[in-house]
Amino acid sequence: MFFITDIPLTMSILSELESRSKSKCELCNSHKNLSAYQIKPVYTGGIDEHILACATCTDQIENPERTVPNHWRCLNDSMWSEFDAVKVVAWRMLHRMKNHGWPQDLLDILYLEDSVENWAAATGEGLSEEEKIIHKDANGALLSAGDTVNLTQDLDVKGGGNFTAKRGTAVRNITLTQDNAAHIEGKINGIHIVILTKFVKKSFPKA
């Protein structure tokens, strides 16, 4: 049985996930309780940003305190997947568990293209709280990769026709600049730009 998580998926995407995975978890090969899992931060929302994962893998990905290292021995095989989304999850989970020894051994031989590694690192997985760069909006709310923010003032955007992004403009699926707590990145009118965190306010889902 399959479930759809996060944003609605078209039947074609769900069918592709099922087909490419041969109806099994792309991380541990389980055939039980499978769901489409979207990898954050979201850029396009397409098939390339999803994996088919079992409930056990999904639960442990989402809840670090419930991570069982022995379950993730499966990454010895799945980290070599041809699909970037699978490799991103493998990288993140190995970094989370690297203090156990064997995950670090796998990380030492895992190769990711720069763009894929940047995607994998976007959530700060594997860093201690002291090592993490903390991003906060104009009101002090914690920002995370994939959040939606609204501009708190008009901003002049250079390039792509030069325009002014008006106060209140929503910027969806932001990414965090890993080495600068004052910067986030996102798209406005299809233009990828760097935005100062002091000029944005986090958008919270309505209750």
| Cα 101 to Cα 109: distance, rounded to the nearest angstrom | 14
Q: What is the pLDDT along the chain (207 residues), one digit of tens a residue?
A: 333 343 445 568 788 999 999 999 999 999 999 989 999 887 777 899 999 999 999 999 999 999 999 999 999 999 999 999 999 999 999 999 999 999 999 999 999 999 999 889 888 776 665 556 788 899 988 898 889 999 999 998 876 667 899 999 999 999 888 778 899 999 998 888 899 999 999 998 765
Write the pLDDT tens digit of every residue in 139-170.
988 898 889 999 999 998 876 667 899 999 99
**Can you list the domains of the chain with their CATH numbers?**
2-121 (no CATH), 149-202 (2.30.30)
The whole model's pTM is what? 0.64
> Two tokens at 31?
């055939």
**Cα→Cα distances 180→12, 132, 151, 195, Å:** 39, 10, 19, 11
> Two tokens at 174?
């932001």
Instruction: Collapse the DSSP code of 183 into the 3-class scheme (helix H, G, I; strand E, B; otherwise coil) and give the result.
Output: strand
Amino acid at 76: N
- Helices 84-96 & 55-62 angle (0-180, nearest 10): 60
